[in-house]
Amino acid sequence: RLRVLAAVAKERTIYRNLLTEELGCTDGYKNLTDKAVSFMDLAVTEFPSAKFVMVIDDDVYVKVDQLAENLRVANSTGLYFGEVWAVVFGNKQKPIRDQSSQYYLPEDQYPMRGLLPYVAGPHSVISMDGVRFIAKNYWRLRSLNGLDDVSVGLRLWSMQLRQQHTRQFSSVRASTNCSDDLVSFVDLPSLGIRSIHANLINNRSFCPGFHSVTWHQNLNSAPTMAEMLRRP
């Protein structure tokens, strides 16, 4: 453990890419909403002039240059976009009431039969007005059993900020294919991330070498289709 902590401290010092003490929360699945909101509060405090915040997992490849170019011509307010599964699957999602599921959502926390559409948690972009609203109203807005993407979407709905789907954000689990015009691609192991990066720096397109199994992070632990659609 001491060696791991030392390695983390070294990476923090050299690359300044880790937030291990700055966020006011304890890491863990049930605390994902708290972590997301704590990050947004930090972003508002430390980067008040920023126009957008992107929240992503660590199994994502993002074409940052292309994303930045797209955002330069986008509205700087009222923006909340990414991969919306309700649009991808053409089906209104429902909360899972099975207590054995990782995605269990108790009825006392969310009594409605259908979930309001939201941007999937692995990769989403929110304009700073939405980020400020979430950070400011943190204690008033309830976390939904660790479902950070559902919680964030619900909070943004309360300020009339609606989700927008973009086909340039996709995931291996949802599409099982790769498109060369992608800007953000989720569910990738290190092999997939390195392969995409090698493609791009060698002036190839995004997807050469793609395979839906070898490019899938934790294939056996991925949620089932029913869970992805939040069916009861």
Residues of the chain with pLDDT under 70: 141-142, 218-232
Query: From the CB of residue 182, how many other CB atoms can be counted at a distance below 10 Å?
Result: 21
Tell me which residue has tokens 């700055």: 22
What residue spans define the domains of the chain? Answer: 1-230
Alpha helices in 81-167 (DSSP H): 85-88, 128-136, 148-157
Count how many Cα atoms sit within 13 Å of the Cα of residue 102 in the half-sphere of its side chain. 11
Distance CA 229, CA 210 (A): 25
pTM over 0.85: yes
CA distance 63 to 53: 15
The amino acid at 70 = N
194-211 pLDDT, tens digit per residue, is 999 999 999 999 999 999
pLDDT at 182: 98
Is-contact 136 128, C-beta < 8 A?
A: no
Tally Cβ neighbours within 10 Å of residue 18: 12
Is 148 within 8 Å of 121 (Cβ atoms)?
Answer: yes
- Tell me what pLDDT residue 126 has: 98
- 63-75 burial string, b = 16+ CB within 10 Å, else e? beeebeeebeeee
Residue appearing with tokens 């997301």? 36
What is the architecture of the domain spanning 1-230? Alpha-Beta Complex (3.90)
